[in-house]
């Protein structure tokens, strides 16, 4: 008997002494070393922000003057339209390189104002758990809802449109006025050519590249992942057409500008016009530098191994789309069993057929790259369009470091080599179409601490 007891005792002693885990799991769970900051600006540097512009809702910068080719075409410049005052975001989940790091539901109601941390460069912190060690090149945010307020519904009277009411939507389990444009964030036009277009919501998740990557190591100090979505001074008005009990209605709502992927009359898909970028910083491994700007505008820095041509398009998206000869018109929506609406539909359908034939003849008479088959030509034009608007990969890249002013100090740059550029402030609702090299195009190495500027 005594021998048995001794064996059990020795076995337990061994168990206790061999418990040789090296990672303190409970300490790990109770600490947070990764801080995710979300900003709504093109600029990354607090104190070097272009001021918020609040144009009139019917100004040409918010509602295109060229209505014939614009989303807003049925009712132009109604007096009831008001520029939005609030952005509402509902985030369901965050992943890092495809791995879940946060499934906390987080909602934000943000005033469109320079005093808001979301717009003044400070940023709002997202709740998250820490990831495992490793390198991550993308961060994915699952947006459940994105809403701007002041969306207005107008209904057709037969001879015109009258204001009916403000659009309403559920946000944070409460009814609010506004329009959830999240549901329309399908890749503009391009996706609608594909069978699976309804499933391709480009913000669920929105895949955001981490420029320079995030090398997460638990041994490091706090790591900050800054995510920027370009909302500030990049908001445009759109028109959503629909039938309600046989009555044709339009809703005027606001969403990120279609500067890159032009949204035209009758189209509802507005996706891939929300541009995002992320960058990672490890506290204690950052440097600062002050850069002089020859004239008021933006100063940007990108990693030396990146190609600046990934960060701009050569001309406005509207002009890029004009080059597409296979840009066929969209058919009208069937209104349901309401006689007057159906008659109206058939009229629109006749016009659609006529427009379609005109466009087809235009496409047929062209011979891009020596192609003769009309389907090959159609594919060719759209492929050119997609590559011109940087449709492959993560889309148009946004520089990781951006400041506005005649002299910009980047206070926290991850150590490494960078190229610096500048560009003039673009018009409201637009981004840049060219860059000018700074420092003679020479690569600048940023070391920890203060660096010599230029």
Give the closest residue to 300 by CA, choosing from 393, 390, 434. Answer: 434
Enclosing H/E stretch for 118 = helix 117-120
Note whether 130 binds another protein by CB under 8 A: yes
The Cβ of residue 437 has, within 10 Å, a number of other Cβ atoms equal to 12
Q: Which of 8, 111, 170, 343 binds another protein (CB under 8 A)?
A: 8
| Torsion region of 358: left, alpha or beta (phi above 0 gives left; psi -120 to 50 gives alpha) | alpha
The CA-atom distances, in angstroms, between 103 and each of 95, 143, 429 are 9, 12, 32
Give the closest residue to 138 by CA, choosing from 395, 446, 312, 313. Answer: 395
**One symbol per residue from 30 to 49: x for binding another protein (CB under 8 A), - otherwise; what is it?**
x-------------------
Restricting to residues 95-114, which ones interact with another protein according to CB under 8 A? 99-104
Stretch of residues binding another protein (CB under 8 A), selected from 130-138, 170-178, 318-326, 348-356: 130-138
Output the smallest distance, CB 106 to another protein, in A: 11
Note whether 3 binds another protein by CB under 8 A: no
CA 397 to chain centre: 10
Note whether 22 binds another protein by CB under 8 A: yes
Q: Which is nearer to another protein, 4 or 174 (CB)?
A: 4
Q: Which of 132, 294, 336, 368 binds another protein (CB under 8 A)?
A: 132
Sign of CA pseudo-dihedral 39, 42, 45, 47: negative
Exposure letters 288-317 (e unless 16+ CB within 10 A, then b): ebbbebeeebbbbbbbeebebebbbbeebb
Restricting to residues 412-451, which ones interact with another protein according to CB under 8 A? none
Q: Which is nearer to another protein, 5 or 195 (CB)?
A: 5
The CA-atom distances, in angstroms, between 88 and each of 114, 358, 428 are 16, 42, 21
Stretch of residues binding another protein (CB under 8 A), selected from 57-65, 128-136, 180-188, 226-234: 128-136
Note whether 144 binds another protein by CB under 8 A: no
| CB of 167 closer than 8 Å to CB of 179 | yes
Output the smallest distance, CB 142 to another protein, in A: 13
Output the smallest distance, CB 274 to another protein, in A: 25
Stretch of residues binding another protein (CB under 8 A), selected from 18-26, 40-48, 65-73, 173-181: 18-26
| Torsion region of 275: left, alpha or beta (phi above 0 gives left; psi -120 to 50 gives alpha) | beta
Restricting to residues 46-105, which ones interact with another protein according to CB under 8 A? 99-104
Residue 53 burial by Cβ neighbours in a 10 Å radius (0-12, 13-18, 19+): middle
Q: Which of 21, 158, 370, 440 binds another protein (CB under 8 A)?
A: 21
Q: Which of 128, 156, 268, 286 binds another protein (CB under 8 A)?
A: 128
Q: Which is nearer to another protein, 18 or 337 (CB)?
A: 18
Output the smallest distance, CB 212 to another protein, in A: 23
By residue count, the chain amounts to 454
Output the smallest distance, CB 205 to another protein, in A: 15
Stretch of residues binding another protein (CB under 8 A), selected from 57-65, 126-134, 147-155, 397-405: 126-134
| CB of 174 closer than 8 Å to CB of 157 | no
Number of residues interacting with another protein: please give it, by CB under 8 A: 34
CA 79 to chain centre: 29
The Cβ of residue 376 has, within 10 Å, a number of other Cβ atoms equal to 12
Note whether 5 binds another protein by CB under 8 A: yes
Note whether 18 binds another protein by CB under 8 A: yes
Which residues contact another protein by CB under 8 A? 1, 4-5, 8-9, 11-12, 15-16, 18-30, 99-104, 127-132
């Amino acid at each position: 008997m005594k021998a048995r007891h001794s064996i059990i005792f020795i076995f337990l002693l061994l168990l206790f002494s061999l418990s040789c885990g090296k990672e303190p799991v409970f300490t790990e769970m109770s600490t947070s070393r990764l801080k995710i900051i979300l900003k709504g600006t093109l600029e990354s540097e607090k104190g070097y922000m272009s001021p918020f512009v609040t144009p009139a809702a019917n100004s040409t910068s918010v509602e295109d003057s060229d209505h014939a080719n614009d989303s807003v075409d049925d009712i132009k410049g109604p007096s009831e339209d008001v520029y939005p005052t609030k952005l509402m975001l509902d985030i369901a989940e965050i992943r890092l390189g495809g791995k879940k790091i946060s499934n906390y539901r987080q909602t934000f109601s943000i005033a469109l104002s320079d005093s808001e941390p979301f717009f003044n460069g400070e940023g709002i912190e997202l709740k998250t758990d820490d990831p495992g060690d490793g390198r991550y090149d993308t961060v994915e945010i699952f947006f459940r809802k994105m809403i701007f307020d002041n969306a207005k519904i107008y209904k057709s009277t037969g001879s015109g449109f009258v204001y009916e009411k403000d659009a309403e939507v559920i946000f944070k389990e409460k009814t609010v006025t506004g329009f959830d444009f999240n549901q329309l964030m399908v890749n503009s036009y391009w996706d609608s050519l594909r069978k699976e277009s309804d499933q391709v919501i480009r913000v669920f998740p929105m895949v955001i590249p981490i420029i320079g990557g995030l090398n997460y190591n638990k041994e490091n100090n706090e790591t900050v992942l800054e995510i920027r979505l370009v909302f500030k001074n990049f908001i445009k008005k759109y028109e959503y057409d629909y039938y309600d009990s046989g009555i044709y209605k339009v809703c005027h709502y606001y969403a990120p500008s279609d500067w890159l992927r032009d949204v035209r009359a009758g189209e509802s898909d507005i996706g891939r016009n929300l541009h995002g970028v992320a960058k990672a910083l490890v506290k204690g491994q950052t440097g600062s530098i002050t850069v002089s700007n020859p004239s008021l505008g933006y100063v940007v820095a990108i990693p030396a191994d990146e190609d600046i041509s990934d960060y701009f398009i050569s001309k406005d998206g509207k002009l890029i789309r004009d080059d597409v000869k296979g840009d066929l018109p969209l058919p009208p929506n069937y209104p349901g069993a309401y006689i007057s609406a159906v008659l109206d539909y058939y009229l629109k359908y006749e016009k659609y057929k006529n427009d379609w034939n005109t466009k087809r003849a235009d496409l047929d008479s062209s011979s891009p790259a020596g192609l003769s088959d009309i389907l090959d030509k159609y594919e060719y034009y759209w492929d050119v369009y997609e590559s011109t608007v940087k449709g492959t990969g993560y889309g148009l890249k946004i520089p990781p470091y951006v400041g506005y002013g005649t002299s910009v100090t980047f206070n926290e740059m991850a150590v490494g080599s960078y190229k610096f550029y500048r560009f003039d402030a673009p018009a409201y609702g637009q981004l840049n179409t060219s860059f000018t090299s700074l420092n003679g195009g020479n690569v600048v190495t940023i070391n920890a601490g203060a660096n010599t500027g230029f």
